[in-house]
Structure 1
């Protein structure tokens, strides 16, 4: 009959103290405050620890007992690559990192496109609070961080359930200003390159269906565009709207859709700088000049927008400042914010001009 395996009992600090013939407090000081312990006692305790295979106190337990770990979690329901690939995310992270460097705080990236993995990552993260990227309106990270009962800041105004700290800009007003800028050049044929209106969907949408979008940030930008166009006498129903995934395949699909029309647009309203820059490359590859044949304006103000060819006119958010403020709110809960609406700015470059 097989013998039942006996569980190996973990070595504790009390075991080390007993083996070294010292008190539990003295053994603890050897690992946490060695300067107050005589050298001969330190050596005896360390020798006992080595003999028993004890590697030291669990830092997680010490940090949890202290009630503060001096670290920020940054969460999103996206693959980890989002923090490095997305231009907007990279700039926000630079603002967060700046505050972490200044205060000596740590940074934990909490990310997973799989819901179960994301839940585990957020529940197990050893942090003082979370900064949440609600990418295209995915609220799962907000709900999960709220369950941790730690401070958190949402980088999106659209989530408004209860007293939620949030940082953002007025998307509707920013989009309206973008459309007004192109209208001032005399454009009358527009196309709208949108972000997601609902999870996982892409393709052409009508203005009426888009106004019922799940994601209010996208809906607000569309509302701003159409408001400006309507004031200029342009029928919203005549403006092609294409829901993209903010990536190359879907932006290319949107442009194929718009430029196969009998009267293609002379001006494009892009809901992100990334969309706009992808569109500029597509247009140039097909022999269309920007802004000679087609004008385009973005939204975000990422650094790459100034370096593309031609440099992109855009509605710039104070992205790095958003990261700084979010980090400060986590590290100093007494400075907790509720809703901070930051100013946006029209950055005029050379991607927009009068139509031919």
Structure 2
């Protein structure tokens, strides 16, 4: 039999399995026993059958004209997280402008994530490296397609990336509060490592897996040191960006030493949860406690009080990521976009003690 004429049905017959089982070996391997998978793969190799190429006709034409957005987070992340929604808006706008398609690639299970990356009909990937960033990069490199990493946990100059200077943005937030006269602070942080929550100190921050939280913490510390504030006096709680973990974080911050007059939140999502919880406890923002977020999501303007925040150009990051992939000419593309502090009503000078 000519090798280029071998079909899936030929492989199934030679391996002694049904065509449906043979199909599952290539498309849904978790449904097939390991020994059967190996027999089918060996038969395919013997016959010269490489397996069904999910890109098929599209790749033979040259381009699929689509972008994949990949994350190890659940698919709900794209719709529930304020940052992700704005980012997807920018990505979608750029795809629409170029007539390109868009595929969301997500799986909590590492085996399914691998299959989803390998089978996506796309010309390149935008990687949201919130968790499992190194795994995402590894799998995407195997596809040998262009990719751009956003929120990459560890610095790597060999990877194309678009983002912001988290250190400088944190300095902006801390400087604003310090110039208002605040000297007692608490920090509601983002994840330093996978699956961790709780109070952290300098050692845990220095050993952080995720650079975003580490760089923002160091930015706060560096700026506050200029005003004579020792980092060791600042209670820091690593949250999981959920209401429950922010509640626990506030319990810790408000009861550790003298109550702070200002809170630095490493994301708007965390800050907005904090606003709700502080209101429940009868604490007024900004009269009792000022709070500054980070991101500049649209919802930050509509909460009560409107949130002071460090604004990053989230949608523009998405648009530039699409441009980088669709205009890829080889090489590594790295870009840092500017930040700005947007002052609203969640910050004010500390109230004088009676």
Cα pair 1:244 1:250 within 8 Å, conserved = yes
Pick aligned residue for 2:323 from 311, 324, 328? 328
Q: Which has the larger radius of gyration?
A: 1
Cα distance, 1:161 vs structure 2: 3.5
CA contact (8 A) 2:271 2:292 kept: yes
Structure 2 residue ranges without an equivalent (≥5) = 1-14, 21-52
1:72–1:129 Cα contact (<8 Å) kept: yes
Range with bigger deviation, 96-105 or 203-212? 203-212
Indicate the SS of the match to 1:139.
helix
Tell whether the 8 Å contact from 1:175 to 1:222 is kept in structure 2 after alignment: yes
Unaligned runs of 5+ in 1: 10-57
Distance 1:148 1:317 in 2: 31
What TM-score do you get using the length of structure 1 for normalisation?
0.82
SS in 2 for 1:291: coil
Q: Secondary structure at the match of 1:309?
A: coil
Deviation (angstroms), 1:294? 0.4
Task: Determine which of 182, 195, 198 is the counterpart of 1:200.
Answer: 195
Moved over 3 A (4+): 4-9, 157-162, 334-337
In structure 2, what is the Cα distance between the partners aligned to 1:335 and 1:147? Answer: 16
1:259 is aligned to 2:259: no
Give the superposition deviation at 1:169.
Answer: 0.6
Does the 8 Å CA contact 2:93/2:319 hold for their aligned counterparts? yes
Q: Give the drift of 1:185.
A: 0.9
Q: Deviations over 1:273-293 (max 9, x none)?
A: 000000000000111000000
**TM-score scaled by structure 2?**
0.82
* 1:232 and 2:227 matched: yes
Distance 1:339 1:131, change over 3 A: same
Q: Deviations over 1:222-242 (max 9, x none)?
A: 000001111111111110000
* CA shift for structure 1 position 111: 0.6
Task: Note the 1:5-24 alignment, pairs <5 A.
Answer: none
Kindly report the root-mean-square deviation, in angstroms, between the aligned alpha carbons of the 2 structures. 2.0
Pairs aligned (count): 305
1:118-160 deviation per Cα after TM superposition (whole angstroms, max 9, x unaligned) = 1111111111000000115732212211111100001135544
Provide the rounded CA distance (Å) in 2 between the counterparts of 1:236 and 1:7: 66
**8 A contact 2:54–2:121 mirrored in 1:** no
Change (3 A) 1:264 1:62: same
Q: 1:177 offset after TM fit, Å?
A: 1.0
